[in-house]
Structure 1
Amino acid sequence: MTPSLPLLAVTALVTGLLGAPDREVSPVADVVEHVAGHAPGTYWTPQRMARAVPIGLLGDLRRITAARPGTPSILPPAAPPEPALPLIARAALPPVARAALPPAARPVLAPDHAARRSPSRTRQAAAMPPATTSGTRWAAGGSVTRTTGRVFLTLNGVDFSCSASAVRSANRDLVVTAGHCVKDGAGDWAENWTFVPGYDDGQQPYGAFPARRMFVAGPWSRSGNDDYDVGMVAVEDLAGQHLTDTVGGQPISFDPPRGHRTYGFGFPADPPYDGERLLYCAGVPHGDPQRQTRDQGLRCDLTAGASGGPWLSGFDPASGRGTLTSVSSFKYSNDHRTMYGPYFGSAVRDLFRTAERA
C-alpha cells in the first residue's frame, strides 16, 4: 500500500494500523521508499551475473499495445514503428549471444596540428578519449572507473543488469541509477539488488554493495512517468567501509543548464556489447523532438544494460570527474541512436535529499 498524500499523519496512521510499511511517501516530498530485502551472500555468483538480462522498463502485452504512437519503445521498429515501451528496456526478451566488444576509437589529429607538436605531446593527445562519440570504450582511467559500476537485481523472478554511479551524499552510501532499475513503474520493487563499483570483465575490485533502502519519485512509482525515471539506493557498508569512502563519489547537481556537453557512461550488454567493460558517449544533448518528455537526448549507440548509467557534465577526462546531471533512461522506437535522460529538477532534488538521510 502506498499512501497518496505526502502527510506525516497519514504515514503514521498507516504504520499504526499495518505495522512498519514496506513503502511510504516522504512527509516532505513526493518520494516513495522501500526497505530492501537482503539477498543471500552467495546469490550473485559469476555464472548468475553472466546470465543476467539487460534491463529497462518492464510491461506485459496489454501495456505494450496500449501505449501511444511515438512513445518510448523496447521493440525493434516496424514500418511504421509500432507503439511500445522503451527500447533500452529489453528485459522481457531472453538473453542473446554476446558479441565481441568493438575496439576503442582513437582521436586523430589534423595534419597541420600534428606537425607543430613534439612526438611526446602528440602521443599524449592521441591517448585522450574523443570529446564527441556515440559509443567508445573508456580507457582513460580516473575516478569514473571506480564510481561507475554494474547493478544486478531480480525483478518478477528474473535476474537483470543495469548501470549506476556512486555519488557524494551525507550518508556516504548512495547510488543513483534509473527508476526502472529499482522499481517496475507502478509494479514491483527489485530484489537481490547489488551494486558492483569498478566492474571490469567480471572483476569486482571493490566488492559488491547490497541495497538497504530504495527510493523513487512518486510519479515514477504511480505511473512510470519517464520524466521521473530516477532511482536512488542507499547500500550497506562493506566490511565496515562506506561506499564513497571506498570508491569516491561524483557530485550531483539540480536544475542544470540545458545543452551543455555531457558524457554518458554505462555497461551495455546487448550486441555488439557484452556488459563486461565501461563504455561512454559524449556530445551536446538536445530536447525531446517528440515532445513526450522533458528529457534530453544524447547521440549514443549504447544498448540495453546501460540503463541507469551516469551522465556527467563539466567532465574532466584527465581526472574522470564530473557532475551527475542525468542517467540513461530510454530510446524511441524510430531513433535507436539517441539515448534520453531525465532532467534533474526539483523532484530529483527532493529524492536525493530524502535518500541521502537514509
Structure 2
Amino acid sequence: MKTTLGVLAVGLLTSGLMAAPVAASASTDFYLLATTQTSAVEVAEFWLGDSGANLTNATPYSVQTVIDKVILGGPYSADGKAGVVPPVLPPDDAGGTGDGPAGTGKVFFVGADGQPHWCTGTAVQSQYRNLVATAGHCAYDTQGPGGGLDKWVFIPGYSAGTAPSGLYVGKTAFTHYDFSSYNDYDRDYTFVTVYNGVVPSSSGGLVDTGRLVDKVGAQGLAWNQPRDSSVDIFGFPAGAHPDGTHPRTGDTLESYKGRMSVARAPALKAEELNTVDSTFAGEGSLGSSWLLRYDKSSRAGYLNTITISVADTDLDLRYDRSFSPYFDGELASVYSDAGTQWSGSIVVP
C-alpha cells in the first residue's frame, strides 16, 4: 500500500491500541509494511519458524546491483549546513557481528519473485530508538507494483539462521518521493521503523526483547559532509567478480576503508552519487553502511551514506567501485519524518 504526503491513521492494533498517525513532509513517501499485531507476528513466525529455514535459504538481493556505465567526477556540493545526529553506544551485553559496528545486520524480505532475499541494514539513532537504514530498493519494491517489500525484518548481528539480539519486524518504510515516483537513484535510501524485537519462547510463542537501539546501540547520522571524506564501509558482500574469481558467501561482515569522490550514472538518473574505489563484490553489498569518523573501540560512528550499486569501471572483469547517494538536507528531511514514528511491541501482554 502506497501513500504520499499528508497524514494517515494506520488503524487499530489487535492489542486494542491505536497506532500513531504517520506524518510525512513534501519530500517523503512512506509505505506500510506490517500494520497490526497479527500481521507482524505472522511475519516473525515466517522467518523464525522451521528453525529459521527461510533465513538460511535467503539469497542476496541482486536487483539493480551493477551499473553498466558511470562517469567519474562532477560539480555537486552540499545543499545546506552540515548536520549530525550522535550515535548511541551499545550496552556491554549487546550482541553483534564480531567487533563490527553496533547495530549492523541484515534486512530480510520476500521479493517480487516470491523468494526470500537479504541486504545489509544499520540501526540509526532516533527519538523512539526503532530506526533501520538501508538502500531504498531494499525496502521499496521496484520490480513489482510498488509499495513495501513483503515480510520485511531486520536482524542485527545475524549469524547462521539465528537472531542473537532479536528479530525486528518492519512497520513503516520512509523513502524520498523522487525515488519512489521517478526512479531517481540519487535518493535511493530508506529508513524503516521496526517493532520491538522478538525471539522464540520455550513454549513456542514469542518473547519481547525490547527496542532495537536499547538492545544493540546505533550509529549516528551525518549529512552535507565534504564530498572527499574518508569512510569505513561495512557489509556482507557475496558472489564473485564477473570473471568468476574471489567468491564470497555473504556470511561474514567485511570492511573496507576509502575516500569518497563524485560520480554520475545516467541509467539510474543519478547525477550526484558518491563513489569509493572498493573491491566489495556485487551481490550482497546493497545497503552496506559508509561510516564517517568510525571508532573501532566504541563500535560507533556516523552513517554518511549506503551502497546502492557497484561497477567494473576499467572493464577488467572485476568490480572496482561502490556507489551511494549523497546524504544532504533532503535525506535529513526523510530521516526526520521517520524518526518521529513510534512502533511498540507485537507481543500481547
* Shared fold, TM over 0.5: yes
Q: Distance in 1 between matches of 2:31 and 2:55?
A: 24
Give the whole-Å Cα distance in 1 for the aligned partners of 2:173 and 2:257. Answer: 29
User: Structure 2: how far apart are the matches of 1:182 and 1:250?
Assistant: 19
Alignment partner of 1:43 is 2:40: no
Counterparts in 2 of 1:27 and 1:164: CA distance versus 1, 3 Å: closer
Give the Å deviation of 1:306: 1.9
In structure 2, the CA distance between the partners of 1:318 and 1:155, relative to structure 1 (3 Å rule), is same
How many Å apart are 1:321 and its aligned residue? 1.4
Tell me by how many angstroms 1:140 deviates: 6.9
Is the contact between residue 29 and residue 351 of structure 1 (CA under 8 Å) also seen in structure 2? Answer: no
Deviations 1:177-232 (A, max 9, x none): 00010012473420111101012344422011110111111011112211001011
**Cα offset for 1:295?**
1.1
**Structure 2 equivalent of residue 193 of structure 1:** 152
Residue 320 of structure 2: aligned partner: 337
State the distance in 2 between where 1:268 and 1:73 align. Answer: 13
Flag structure 1 segments of 5+ consecutive residues without an equivalent: 16-23, 59-71, 82-137
Q: What secondary structure sits across from 1:293 in the alignment?
A: strand
SS of residue in 1 equivalent to 2:332: helix
1:1-358 superposed matches below 5 A: 6=5, 27-37=24-34, 38=40, 39-44=42-47, 45-57=51-63, 73=66, 141=99, 144=101, 146-156=102-112, 157-185=114-142, 187-238=146-197, 239=208, 241-271=210-240, 272-288=247-263, 292-302=270-280, 303-332=282-311, 334=313, 336-358=319-341
- Tell me, yes or no, if the aligned pair for 1:173 and 1:244 is still in contact at 8 Å: yes
- Assess, with a 3 A threshold, how the Cα gap between structure 1 residues 333 and 40 changes in structure 2: closer, same or farther: same
* Whole-angstrom CA distance in 1 between matches of 2:23 and 2:111: 24
Alpha-carbon distance change, 230 to 208 in structure 1, aligned in 2, over 3 angstroms? same
* 2: CA distance, partners of 1:182 / 1:2: 12
- Give the distance between the partners of 1:159 and 1:140, measured in 2 at CA: 25
Q: Is the 8 A contact 1:262 1:311 kept in 2?
A: yes
- What is the CA–CA distance in structure 2 between the aligned matches of 1:251 and 1:297, rounded to whole Å? 21
Please list the CA deviations of residues 299-334 of structure 1 after superposition, one character each: whole Å capped at 9, or x if unmatched: 222231121121101112232211111001112354
The 8 Å contact of residues 152 and 195 in structure 1, kept in 2 or not, is answered as: yes
* Structure 1 vs Structure 2 CA RMSD: 2.9
Identity of aligned residues (%): 26
Measure, in 1, the Cα distance between the counterparts of 2:238 and 2:66. Answer: 18
After superposition, the Cα gap between the structure-2 partners of 1:195 and 1:3, relative to the gap in structure 1 and judged at 3 Å, is: closer
Normalised to the residue count of structure 1, the TM-score between the two structures is 0.68
Whole-Å Cα distance in 2 between the matches of residues 52 and 198 of structure 1?
16
What is the rounded CA distance, in whole Å, between the counterparts of 1:290 and 1:36 in structure 2?
30
Larger radius of gyration: 1
Structure 2: tracts of 5 or more residues without a match = 12-20, 35-39, 70-95, 198-207, 241-246, 342-349
**Residue pair 1:149, 1:197 contacting (<8 A) in 2 also:** yes
Whether the aligned pair in 1 keeps the contact of 2:135 and 2:286 (CA below 8 Å) is yes
Q: Distance in 1 between matches of 2:194 and 2:56?
A: 22
